[in-house]
Structure 1
Amino acid sequence: MKILKEINQNIEFFGRYKDQIFFTWNKSSALELETFLENIREKHLNVRFQKFISTNAQFLNAYIENQQGQLYSRVHYDPNIPRYTLPYTMSHSKSAHSDWLRAVLILAVCYCTLVDDFQQERIYLELAYLINSYSLLFVETHVKHFFNYFHAQIMRYSANQSIYDKFRQQWFKFVEQ
């Protein structure tokens, strides 16, 4: 946890998963970054890391990019994994896939900074279910439930970026509670 505190004081955005940490660095010089990393190495001898410098990166199925100083992100799909497939479940597949649909819609809200990317992801998910023999009623019911739960029925088909930004802010506040 000490490393996260150090990172949080010096950067703009970070993510973690198990023993992996991802962070962006927007300070002025590469020397500052090297000094920061060297301090971590000295304080935490067991920590190993790989430095990757770029304007974009993929981390945990997220594509993250610095677009002229603005953070842009969307869902990223590994090109080696077939599209439109659902995760394998051994039993109660309808129930498991229902939970998975809600989870990936939530993930899309987290990852997609632009409304167009979010809507494209929503459509992709709906198609994935239809292609895998789920009924239109199943898809409609679960997607509608997702938007109703967050009191955001208007977002189902909206292409308005400001409405989407408010929806995301509402969602992030909900998660913080």
Structure 2
Amino acid sequence: MKFMAGKYIDDVFMTTNLTKEEILQQLNETMKTDPNFKITITINQALEYLAASIENNNGQLKTTIYHKSTWEPHILPYESDHPRHIHANIIYTMLVRAACLCSTVEDFDMER
């Protein structure tokens, strides 16, 4: 069985080659172990997890940056009263984030 998982605090993401029925059976067995243990299950070809949008494209995982509906493509105005290093750090951080989360050069270029 191929399996990959990611965890951040109480958010878990996983991929597997099990069937949907096998996944649901295993998760239901897990939930029976403790009545306080709650799982929200989403089984799909694509999902948003933390800051990433993840898509299974014919067995190949494709990742891009997930932009929430409230996201605005603006950064701190240069005229704001923040120290100048803050402006440079915002741009640097956004580029590092794009480099880490975008699985293709084309998606990275879209973030620039």
TM-score by length of 2: 0.76
Instruction: Indicate the residue corresponding to 1:104 in structure 2.
Output: 94
- The correspondence for 2:10, drawn from 6, 12, 19, is 19
CA shift in 2, pair 1:35/1:118, >3 Å: same
Q: How many pairs align?
A: 109
Runs of 5+ consecutive residues of structure 2 not aligned to the other structure: none
Structure 1 runs (4+) deviating above 6 angstroms are: none
Map 1:92-171 to 2 at 5 A. Answer: 92-121=82-111, 123=112
Higher relative contact order (CA 8 A, sep 6+): 2
Deviation at 1:94, TM superposition (A): 3.0
Instruction: Indicate the residue corresponding to 1:172 in structure 2.
Output: none
TM-score by length of 1: 0.52
The letter of the residue matching 1:107 is R
Deviation at 1:23, TM superposition (A): 1.8
Instruction: Indicate the residue corresponding to 1:149 in structure 2.
Output: none
Higher helix share: 1
RMSD over equivalenced CA pairs, Å: 2.6
The letter of the residue matching 1:61 is A
